[in-house]
Structure 1
Amino acid sequence: MQEFGGVSYDQANHPKVQQVQHRVEQHVQQIYGAEKSAEISADIMRDGGLTDAAIDTHTLVNKWDEGDVYTITYADSIKKNGELPLKTLHRILRQHLRGVTNGIHILPFCPYTSDYGFSVVDYHAVKPEFGSWKDIQAISEDFKLMADLVINHCSSESEWFKNFKEGKDPGSDYFVLGEDYEDVSKVVRPRPHPLFTNVQTVDGEKEVWCTFSADQVDLNFRNPKVLLEFIRVIRTYLAQGVTVFRLDAIAFLWKESGTTCVHLDQTHEIIKLLRLFIETLEPEAIVITETNVPNKENLSYFGNDNEAHMIYNFSLPPLLLNTMLSGDCRHLKAWMMSMPPARRGRAYFNFIASHDGIGLRPAEGLLSEQELKDLTDTLCSFGGEISMRKMPDGQLQPYEANISLFSSMAGKIGGAKDAYHLQRFICAHSIMLALEGVPAFYIHSLLGTENDLQGVADTGELRAINRHNWDADMLEEKIADPGLHHGEVFESLKRMIRVRRQQPAFHPNATQYTLHFGNEVFAFWRESLNREQSIFALHNISDKKQEIPLVELNLIATENWRDLLSGEKITPCKQSIVLEPYQSTWITNR
């Protein structure tokens, strides 16, 4: 017997514990069936520490506001001789980004064997070459910390997979076997390599399912012991200060013979269960799903307010890039008008670049095949490459563009590099910052990093083009050099971010309406939740001056209007404003 609120009780019979256990059992039944649901649920309650967590009293909190801006980085994107990368990262963050971004997504930092961390060997450890859990905790004390839950697969060098080959536990039944799936003809593939890899085990040769590479072996979530392993992993992350969980490649989690093996019902149910578990332990925590798929499929991961708190806005990068390179925002406007407003408790996670390439699948149905070809041809002319995926009929289709975002903005579609490179790049980010949702900046976008062709040559990996490792001292020199673009990019973006973070109308859930000033001006209106602040965000996405009639904005004459970016006062009686090529203006009454 324990005491709660001055009253003695049996923990198992406490109403809050019973409520959580009932919800766990509901999800477990949908995943594994009714027969073993009680046993599996009891294991989850025990291993997850849910009994104690459920009876704690928590104050409900808003999980985000206009001040939330994330930086995405590898632990070793910036390195200094004689210093562990996580310590270097923390020092750089405090020196340059304190008060600018308040959230940090550190890409996989566990020991790994390939794919820049996404083939995890040990989920409960930090790669010693990066630092330690103390370094992770130190960063979490200064910034909201996002970490990857690489949940679909693990490394072929992990202890689990070694045990699988030797017929030992834990791991002997942790992996997906080809022999259990009669029909895989419809399986959606993100890669062109074979779906199965042959490995030698104590029981002979076995085919194991490998969605992403032969070194990344898919985990078998039909076995509830695998789910329990990740329950324990999440507890480790929470204990070390992680409060934002990025569910990597989650769409591929569950397999059924004769299906696409993507977005299956059991996958969605596992996300619901993980959210319940995570929020019970840490009410302020956020679950974000990484699903690089067409827009409608991506939206499904909000569930009924019971799956992801945030979803990556995967259609934004290819559409915004196409807008900036074509000088035509028709498709971006059409997409934005089709997007449902994210209800309170949900938010879009906006980004233009990440550690991966620029996904092209999310543009399917939004850009025509010819438009996609024109876009990819232009990116290749700026030094990029195109990665392919294999279709069920064996044909190859473009999957992502591999190029640094700064290099991708060098010119217009079908043209050569031009004089508006920097302005085009800054304008794209001003759009992202103003849009409904939580903005995130890849570290190499903040720094204006160009294509790392040497990295591709050294590794043979196309994605290395956008995964440069900066020497910290050299980076400081380049940022300080007025003759280079790095410092101008860094300071311009930081200034816009600081402005953005002070505007209630840029709350991730604030009202957003599309405005129409032709195809060369991408414009929309934001209004704060309390309706006290309005912002008209106008962006010239062309290389020609654009004149915008102020009468069409219907500015209230009694309000004091100004441009947040330039500081210029805007007089409502003025007939029009003129935007220079790729200029942005955020006109506000507050």
Structure 2
Amino acid sequence: MDHLKQKVAHHLSVIYSDVTLDITTDTLADEVMSIMRLDSEVCNPVAHQNHWSQEDVILITYGDSIKTENQPPLQTLHGFLQDYCNDVITSVHILPFFPYSSDDGFSVINFSAVNESLGDWQDISSISGDYHLMADLVINHCSSRSLWFENFKLGREPGLDYFVTADPKDDIEQVVRPRTSPLLRETQTNEGIKHVWCTFSHDQVDLNFKNPEVLKEFIAIIRLYLDKGVKIFRLDAVAFLWKKLGTRCINLDQTHEVVRLIRTLVEHSSEHAMLITETNIPNRENLTYFGNANEAHCIYNFSLPPLLVNTLVTGNCKYLKQWMMSMPPAQNGTAYFNFIASHDGIGLRPAEGLLKDEELNTLINTMQSFGGRISWRATNGGVNKAYEINIALIDALQGTVKGPDKWGIDRFICAHAIMLSLEGIPGIYIHSLLGTGNDYEKVKHTNHNRSINRHQWDYEELVNQLGQEWTQHAQTYSRLKHLIKLRVEQPAFHPNATQFTLHLGDQMFGFWRQSMDRRQSIFCINNISDEVINLSLSDINLISTDNWCDLITGTVYDSIELGIEVQPYQTLWISNL
């Protein structure tokens, strides 16, 4: 216990090294540990222990992505998971299910309550009893309609010093923003006009972690979520957490130390709890959130979506292959979180330095021609720059730079086959599993670009669509389910199993996976073009004494000298077991 307290106190001393506190870091450590009940209940985490296997697949969904009359949406979701996903996923990420005022849940009014329109804590606990539950810790900001912000304006606690303020004359030129709105929001308070820091929107006011009371509030929230069955904590927008005038206010040392502190507290409170950092930033910066296996257990592989979509619409895997060869293997105890579609869009910042401007412009223009929208951010020079592409993935892959074609669903399945076989834990967005297209009506209704990929299904209509084999929804669900069921049976697809890139030309994206016990090898071969490609098995150095077969089709290869015609967007998982 003394060692743990020393560790917590050290984290706090680093976080508050430039802040004058009213209490000592030792006293603050005692308070933090008491909130987490670490004064009486302590787990002993094992260093570099993997909390996952090839069997783990995470479904990403809103609490009300599927609705039915006269039933709380969380109960409808639970029923859908049991009826359609029991043999597909092990975990579910329910996007913010708290009372909120904007941004579809990410402007939280009350972190400790369940949105009544979705259900209650019992519904959350029921889902966490059947699946590993991933929940958002929206840690950078809260709603301007929260009690904390109302108290801030009135000059009373809790909330008095809970928010970051600045003078418009302060040096904020370097601040990195993902939005085009002004950084500072003019706010009338009992003490006069104050300018409140808003990294995202003016309804999302940034919290002041220089005040340890704010940190303690979030430690209590973490403890509550653990008690309700949350296993995986998604640290939303955490890169922006700490502010220091005259800097970029992103990825600061104190931010990393806060992540380390949360890691220490969570893993000593719950043996299998995990942190995933949501840091939609350039690839090199994103990788730093692994720390030395002492920060995030998992980091979002944000560069994968833009690179993979670019690969499939251009028919050239050059940039994807270059990136993959540059990615360090995740050491045991850490893993990449792979995804190719989400409730947001296809982020473009993670492609900076990986795709040339000309490639990015072609990608943007192609996505716009497929019905996509573009969201923008402000740069230091005052020029707006494309931040993300908003589009449903199945529509993003309906064609190539040449236009729509007949290979849309095959291209979409190829994208998921690549994602499912890469090093890391796969996350599948519910609207990818269901083959949901662009929702233009919702965009018109909300006037928000991101709504294009946030459709709400009527459960009865969804069941009807999935029951008819010819529908886009039934085809994508059936084919993805087949791939997932194959994936979870292969030791070579363990998130930390060895991975090497193969060199098979620009139209064939290939890599080799080997199980951690070295018994199984899988050669993952993907034709990312709209042309038939002839492949000789001798090109991928199969061992002649092993028996090889394609797991997806069941085809057995009697000779490694065979030539194979790989169809457009076909994937081969050639395994020796």
TM-score (structure 1 length as normaliser)? 0.95
Once the two structures are TM-superposed, the CA of residue 548 in structure 1 deviates from its matched residue by 1.2
Once the two structures are TM-superposed, the CA of residue 57 in structure 1 deviates from its matched residue by 6.1
Q: What CA deviation, in whole Å up to 9, does each residue of 1:486-513 have, x standing for no partner?
A: 1010010011000000000000000000
Provide the rounded CA distance (Å) in 2 between the counterparts of 1:549 and 1:309.
Answer: 39
| Cα pair 1:294 1:363 within 8 Å, conserved | yes
The corresponding residue for 2:100 is 112
Provide the rounded CA distance (Å) in 2 between the counterparts of 1:167 and 1:548.
Answer: 71
Paired residues for 1:504-519 under 5 Å: 504-519=491-506
Paired residues for 1:150-549 under 5 Å: 150-179=138-167, 182-413=170-401, 415-549=402-536
Q: What CA deviation, in whole Å up to 9, does each residue of 1:152-183 have, x standing for no partner?
A: 00001111011101111000100001139821
| Cα pair 2:99 2:113 within 8 Å, conserved | yes
Aligned match for 1:46, one of 34, 46, 49? 34
Give the letter aligned to residue 340 of structure 2: I
SS of equivalent to 1:53: coil
Distance 1:58 1:544, change over 3 A: closer
| Cα pair 1:245 1:288 within 8 Å, conserved | yes
SS of equivalent to 1:217: strand
Q: What CA deviation, in whole Å up to 9, does each residue of 1:222-269 have, x standing for no partner?
A: 000000000000010000000000000000000001000000000000
SS of equivalent to 2:572: strand
Once the two structures are TM-superposed, the CA of residue 482 in structure 1 deviates from its matched residue by 2.7
Provide the rounded CA distance (Å) in 1 between the counterparts of 2:46 and 2:368.
Answer: 51
Provide the rounded CA distance (Å) in 2 between the counterparts of 1:575 and 1:278.
Answer: 52
Number of matched residues? 572
| Cα pair 1:75 1:85 within 8 Å, conserved | yes
The corresponding residue for 1:93 is 81
Gaps of at least 5 residues in structure 2 are: none
Provide the rounded CA distance (Å) in 2 between the counterparts of 1:574 and 1:551.
Answer: 6
Once the two structures are TM-superposed, the CA of residue 59 in structure 1 deviates from its matched residue by 7.7
| Cα pair 1:556 1:572 within 8 Å, conserved | no
Q: What CA deviation, in whole Å up to 9, does each residue of 1:59-117 have, x standing for no partner?
A: 88630000010000000000001110000000000000002110100000011010000
Q: Does 1:552 align with 2:542?
A: no
The corresponding residue for 1:22 is 6
Provide the rounded CA distance (Å) in 1 between the counterparts of 2:292 and 2:178.
Answer: 27
Once the two structures are TM-superposed, the CA of residue 575 in structure 1 deviates from its matched residue by 2.7
Provide the rounded CA distance (Å) in 2 between the counterparts of 1:560 and 1:567.
Answer: 12
Aligned match for 2:115, one of 90, 106, 127? 127
| Cα pair 1:164 1:171 within 8 Å, conserved | yes
The corresponding residue for 1:563 is 550
TM-score (structure 2 length as normaliser)? 0.98
Distance 1:176 1:547, change over 3 A: same
Provide the rounded CA distance (Å) in 1 between the counterparts of 2:494 and 2:169.
Answer: 46
Provide the rounded CA distance (Å) in 2 between the counterparts of 1:58 and 1:402.
Answer: 40
Once the two structures are TM-superposed, the CA of residue 58 in structure 1 deviates from its matched residue by 6.9
Provide the rounded CA distance (Å) in 2 between the counterparts of 1:165 and 1:497.
Answer: 51
Aligned match for 1:145, one of 133, 145, 152? 133
| Cα pair 2:109 2:142 within 8 Å, conserved | yes
Provide the rounded CA distance (Å) in 2 between the counterparts of 1:570 and 1:428.
Answer: 25
SS of equivalent to 2:287: helix
Provide the rounded CA distance (Å) in 2 between the counterparts of 1:291 and 1:57.
Answer: 28
Give the letter aligned to residue 379 of structure 1: M
Give the letter aligned to residue 315 of structure 2: G
| Cα pair 2:390 2:452 within 8 Å, conserved | yes
SS of equivalent to 2:233: strand
| Cα pair 1:44 1:231 within 8 Å, conserved | yes
Gaps of at least 5 residues in structure 1 are: 1-16
Provide the rounded CA distance (Å) in 1 between the counterparts of 2:168 and 2:243.
Answer: 10
Provide the rounded CA distance (Å) in 1 between the counterparts of 2:45 and 2:391.
Answer: 45
The corresponding residue for 1:70 is 58
Provide the rounded CA distance (Å) in 2 between the counterparts of 1:158 and 1:421.
Answer: 44
Once the two structures are TM-superposed, the CA of residue 578 in structure 1 deviates from its matched residue by 1.5
Once the two structures are TM-superposed, the CA of residue 355 in structure 1 deviates from its matched residue by 0.4
Cα RMSD between the aligned structures? 1.2
SS of equivalent to 2:39: helix
Distance 1:219 1:64, change over 3 A: same
SS of equivalent to 1:424: helix
SS of equivalent to 1:243: strand
Once the two structures are TM-superposed, the CA of residue 39 in structure 1 deviates from its matched residue by 2.2
Give the letter aligned to residue 312 of structure 1: Y
